[in-house]
Structure 1
Amino acid sequence: MSESGSEHPQKAKPSRSHLLLAATVVVALGIVLIFVLSKQDETKQDNAKYAQDVVEQQPQYTEHINTAQTKPVVQEPAEAPETVEIPASANRNEIPIEVAPATPSEPELPSLDNSDEVVKQTVAEIMTEKALALIVSDDMVRRGVVFVENLAKGQIAEKHMPVKKPQEPFMALEDDIVITDPNSFERYTPYVDMLSSMSTAQIVRMLNKFQPLIAQAYEEIGYDGNDFNGTLDKAISELLSTPIPKNNVPLIKDSVTYRYAYPEWEQLSEAQKQFLRMGPENMERVKQRLSALQKSLAQ
């Protein structure tokens, strides 16, 4: 698989790329996590039938006999509680009535077709305007679900990217060997910052909120909506299993494209090879966040 798609190599100069970038792959996963399925707490309910079958034991009064006297001692009935009558002339509306406070409930989610606005509002609560500008804001739930489903297979759904690709072109250095220009890694830093800015707890809360929409979108592409958690776990594992290079990985110029010179790198999945293009430091930051999130979702 080529490293950069249709990129024209130039020595120490940028060359145009029409393939998806690794940063987009990883950050897209982070954005999708906003819409991902999550386990819901089950509320324990009383068994109504069992409650009906239980009969409350009533107090029983027994007559005590005094054997030392000729007449039995009879217990006097307890006095009835004093009743308070409300005058007929009183205004019953003025009588204070204690009412239990209502329990606030989550507002109903919109339909899947009309969900973009509420999704954007939720994301905006924890992201800066600069980060929001990186997100593709149309058909967000469906876009994310399809992307994650492909990522779990090591593939890239180009038409369903949840984030925009960097404007700066890919750059390579050509000398005795061809390598990725280290300055090219900086293109991905804003995307990594966006993912790192969201805490695991914030992501999980949003997962709970949008669970029904995620399930519906997953069913639309032919799967059981309850299976999305497993698919998400596979997508995260696909990226976590990508090795982080300790040194520059040499490239081979193949016509108008680049590919990795070493077979162990070239045989990686399409998604993993795109992840490599972020550079070691960005890869490490993303892996730390995804590892923490995967552990949280497994609990």
Structure 2
Amino acid sequence: APPAPPAVQLSGTDPRVRDLLKGLSSDADFARWLDSEDLARRFAASVNLIAEGQSPRMPLSFMAPAGAFRVTKRQGRTVGSAESHTRYDGVTRVIVSLDAKAVGQVYQELKPLLDAAHAELAPPGRSLEATLSQAIGRLTRVPIPKTSPELTAKGALYVYVDPELEALGAAEKHLLRMGPVNMRKVQAKLTELSAALGLPSQGQARQP
């Protein structure tokens, strides 16, 4: 029998990953994101978490917006402030700046590496494509609110008054906190990226 192919080594791959990724966007913040370590594992971890509806805050710590989430009163309702949404403008700008066609090409080049990183975390038998498809589907199906969703204080946190929104996973709530303008841009880009990656088409956001 032919010898088994050598296992893909993930350690020490950051320089190659950075070199391939740097051409995907000319945005300075994207270049800063690429300074992070263990990029393949970060990607796999974040996709797995989002696919499960969990927060990808840890592996995507470099994307965290500055400042704190703030609320305001509008017509007697407590809602997220406009400033809370604009904190995510930079993240949205970087995501929108990605060259989808180039992402598809780089994905194919890095696929063995990403598959190896994904296999460390994913449930047995689940492919990277399935995880990516599930993650993107979760985010593109989040309904874009027509008006700012009402919030209510619960201890030190704020929760959504609408039980449907409150029932969403942490990953979806991250997207909601970006505000409707950023949500539309990110969801449109995710749909474009999904097509570039050759993933099954995703359901679109419901317009309430």
Taking structure 2 as the reference length, what is the TM-score of the superposition? 0.83
Instruction: Answer yes or no: is 1:229 the counterpart of 2:104.
Output: no
Q: Which residue of 1 aligns with 2:149?
A: 249
Q: Is the 8 A contact 1:151 1:271 kept in 2?
A: yes
Q: CA 1:166–1:262 in structure 2 vs 1: closer, same or farther (change >3 Å)? A: same
Aligned length: 190
Q: Is the 8 A contact 2:55 2:174 kept in 1?
A: no
The one of 41, 58, 74 aligned to 1:142 = 41
2: CA distance, partners of 1:125 / 1:136: 14
Once the two structures are superposed, residues 112-147 of structure 1 have per-residue CA deviations (whole angstroms, 9 ceiling, x without a partner) of: 101111212222223333332245611110111011
Q: Which residue of 1 aligns with 2:190?
A: 290
Q: Kindly provide the amino acid, as one letter, of the partner of residue 240 in structure 1.
A: T
SS in 1 for 2:88: helix
1:224 Cα deviation (Å)? 5.6
Q: CA 1:230–1:129 in structure 2 vs 1: closer, same or farther (change >3 Å)? A: same
Once the two structures are superposed, residues 155-213 of structure 1 have per-residue CA deviations (whole angstroms, 9 ceiling, x without a partner) of: 12443226331122211114632110012211111111111111211100110110110
Instruction: Answer yes or no: is 1:196 the counterpart of 2:96.
Output: yes
How is 1:84-103 mapped onto 2 (pairs within 5 angstroms)?
Answer: none
Q: CA 1:158–1:289 in structure 2 vs 1: closer, same or farther (change >3 Å)? A: closer
Instruction: Answer yes or no: is 1:121 the counterpart of 2:24.
Output: no
Q: Is the 8 A contact 1:147 1:162 kept in 2?
A: no
1:255 Cα deviation (Å)? 2.0
Q: Is the 8 A contact 1:214 1:225 kept in 2?
A: no
Q: Is the 8 A contact 1:185 1:278 kept in 2?
A: yes
Q: CA 1:285–1:157 in structure 2 vs 1: closer, same or farther (change >3 Å)? A: closer
Q: CA 1:170–1:136 in structure 2 vs 1: closer, same or farther (change >3 Å)? A: farther
Q: CA 1:143–1:231 in structure 2 vs 1: closer, same or farther (change >3 Å)? A: same
Q: Which residue of 1 aligns with 2:114?
A: 214
1:222 Cα deviation (Å)? 5.4
Give the number of the structure whose residues are more often helix, by fraction. 2
Q: Is the 8 A contact 1:250 1:261 kept in 2?
A: yes
Q: Kindly provide the amino acid, as one letter, of the partner of residue 298 in structure 1.
A: L
Higher Rg of the two aligned structures: 1
Q: CA 1:153–1:136 in structure 2 vs 1: closer, same or farther (change >3 Å)? A: farther
Identical counterparts, % of pairs: 26
Q: CA 1:170–1:147 in structure 2 vs 1: closer, same or farther (change >3 Å)? A: same
Aligned-pair Cα RMSD in Å: 2.1
2: CA distance, partners of 1:291 / 1:169: 29
Q: CA 1:205–1:224 in structure 2 vs 1: closer, same or farther (change >3 Å)? A: farther
* Higher relative contact order structure (alpha carbons within 8 Å, sequence separation ≥ 6): 1
Q: CA 1:181–1:187 in structure 2 vs 1: closer, same or farther (change >3 Å)? A: same
SS in 2 for 1:179: strand
Once the two structures are superposed, residues 17-39 of structure 1 have per-residue CA deviations (whole angstroms, 9 ceiling, x without a partner) of: xxxxxxxxxxxxxxxxxxxxxxx
